[in-house]
Structure 1
């Protein structure tokens, strides 16, 4: 564990050292939050509800979407893809650590910094626009559990997309596709309730829903009790499935690795 803790510390130091890149990445997510808050405020502030969402609920939901976008290394995928395309990944293979666990440790290293930014943005939003609706008792515990599970779930989605670099010459297209798919099926752009019925059902039980929709709906009280517990259980199940699925894909990816012609 000492090696993984060292990787986590190094990742945190990199985030603090390269503050401009780190801040620009967060700015993009923050700008999306401001834009969506402005749009939904116009639509809902008069007290009306669209598909059952009131303005206070939508405000809380969008803050969860912001947290989902801000957490887990905004530049982690580019760092991994660069090392794969440049051949530097060969150096990672000779280190006495497991590749997937090492990348996860790096992602966790900067999470506390990103979490502080998220708490700051949430605090400012609450101060400007009023308190958030919060769940109580068991639902609050489920919400916290869902937010914790969001971290490994997002890492795994980013990590799996980054492994595509073993098969592609350019990662930009993969990254754009991943962002588009995640934003739609996680509910980050609009709640899944606004999608057509069949598509909303597919998205609800996909791994992406656990990145925004599940914690967001629990926070604002749209799901509770056994339904909330079932969604969190699905979130946990996807974390386990994707973790071991990523290990299988990694084995296949290694067969594609070519460094200096070998």
Structure 2
């Protein structure tokens, strides 16, 4: 119970930190809305009165693109930047000396950031619906399972970003690796192009990796493109990736911790 209260304190501190940079948050929201407008207008023109493309109707595509953009605001993680900054400043020494696991501390910080970002998403969602397009979920099951898929996406992205952040224990500055990761993740997540439109081998690769839950899987469930057995298999894959990434996080963190102690942390 004491540890739970401590992690909650981390979350509250993270919310306060995020609110100190309200201008940045709202600027990100503005850019997201602009991106929604550009994507939805581009795809509307690309349809050229065709009833469907790769199984997506125009209405489904617009909702998919709007949702995937809003999801990015919720799922996006600053952990790699936070970890690198604390390694450079030496503050990481205080982090690892606390009676709480370092990965747990970072995930609690991420949860606080997400609470703030989610509140902004709820504020801008009506405007996003007006500029892009939103509709009711394809079915009751889709409406119930959509947030589950988003939660998987959040957890997978947080774990992946934490792993990228740990590279700072060896490189100090992980900006290049972090930027490369964001580009690869956004592409393989289907943020701008649904996975069903990708060439066969690339689609198979993207479908097997955890990135799909960052954008494609939740939005595709919502609009009814992923359902039934395919949806169940997707959740099983996500759960498997969570287990793999948690184990990998523990392994790499132990090595990073030993490195910190060896160098006089």
TM-score, normalisation: structure 1:
0.90
Instruction: Indicate conservation of the 8 Å contact 2:159/2:249, yes or no.
Output: yes
| 1:129 CA drift (Å) | 5.4
- 1:135-146 to structure 2, matched below 5 A, reads 135-146=138-149
**Over residues 62-103 of structure 1, what are the superposed CA-to-partner deviations in whole Å (9 max), with x where a residue is unaligned?**
123213321246533211111112221111011121100111
- 1:134-173 to structure 2, matched below 5 A, reads 134-173=137-176
Q: Which of 211, 227, 239 is the aligned partner of 1:224?
A: 227
CA distance in 2, matches of 1:249, 1:260: 17
Partner of 1:43: 46
CA distance in 2, matches of 1:230, 1:147: 16
1:183 aligns with 2:202: no
User: Which consecutive residues of structure 1, in runs of 5 or more, have no partner in the other structure?
Assistant: none
Q: Which moves more between the two structures, 132-141 or 7-16? A: 132-141
1:240 aligns with 2:234: no
CA distance in 1, matches of 2:52, 2:109: 42
CA distance in 2, matches of 1:158, 1:68: 16
CA distance in 1, matches of 2:80, 2:98: 20
CA distance in 1, matches of 2:181, 2:71: 14
1:108 aligns with 2:111: yes
CA distance in 1, matches of 2:212, 2:96: 33
TM-score, normalisation: structure 2:
0.89
Instruction: Indicate conservation of the 8 Å contact 1:77/1:162, yes or no.
Output: yes
CA RMSD of aligned residues (A): 2.2
1:21 aligns with 2:24: yes
CA distance in 2, matches of 1:25, 1:258: 38
Change (3 A) 1:126 1:68: closer
**Over residues 220-257 of structure 1, what are the superposed CA-to-partner deviations in whole Å (9 max), with x where a residue is unaligned?**
11121121111122122212221221111111122333
| 1:25 CA drift (Å) | 3.8
Change (3 A) 1:45 1:71: farther
